[in-house]
Amino acid sequence: MKKQTPLTSYEAVKEKALRLLEFRSHSEEELRQKLKRQGASDEHIEDAIDFCRHYGFVNDERYAAAKAKDLMKLKKYGPRRIRAELKAKGISPELIETAMSELDEEESGTELRKLVEKKLAGDFSPKSLNRCLRYFLYRGYELRDIRGCIDETVAMNLSD
């Protein structure tokens, strides 16, 4: 296994930051932590992040909006879980709220309804309903939204 040498010059830190950003976008804080683990000095890290920010390689606002959209569409996360994930990436609360306001709440509700129907798959036993409720709470959806979708799904299927 190749031993990592500490990043001692600004140029080395900048190159490492650019290499990291080649593969996927990162938040400033995420990039800061990765460079710190490589042994870079705080001064070099801040200079490299300033360079990346200046040229548009790092943009927390754009990152937060894209990440929130991906978490909702691909991972099927709810608003609470998306906020927690963005906070863990070092995104500021203001940028998190901006990103959340750009998400389509109606689409999220429709998606939740489909997911609840799929998760229940016609099994409306109390055990199955509780399992479904816990699953979507973990995914970050609001309790009232989950209950509403479960009640709708049960009512629709019992009326058929």
CATH of the domain at 90: 1.10.10
Residue range(s) defining the domain that contains residue 109: 105-159
For residues 23 and 57, the answer to whether their CB atoms sit within 8 Å is: no
Nearest to residue 158, comparing CAs of 146, 128, 150? Answer: 150
Q: What residue type is assigned to position 125 of the chain?
A: S
Tell whether 114 and 142 lie within a shared domain.
yes
Report yes or no on 3 lying in a domain: no
Tell whether 92 and 134 lie within a shared domain.
no
Tell whether 114 and 155 lie within a shared domain.
yes
For residues 27 and 54, the answer to whether their CB atoms sit within 8 Å is: no
Report yes or no on 2 lying in a domain: no
Tell whether 90 and 129 lie within a shared domain.
no
Tell whether 136 and 125 lie within a shared domain.
yes
**pLDDT tens series, the chain, 160 aa:** 455 667 788 999 999 999 999 999 999 999 999 999 999 999 999 999 999 999 999 999 999 999 999 999 999 999 999 999 999 999 999 999 999 999 887 778 888 999 999 999 888 999 999 999 999 999 999 999 999 999 999 998 877 6
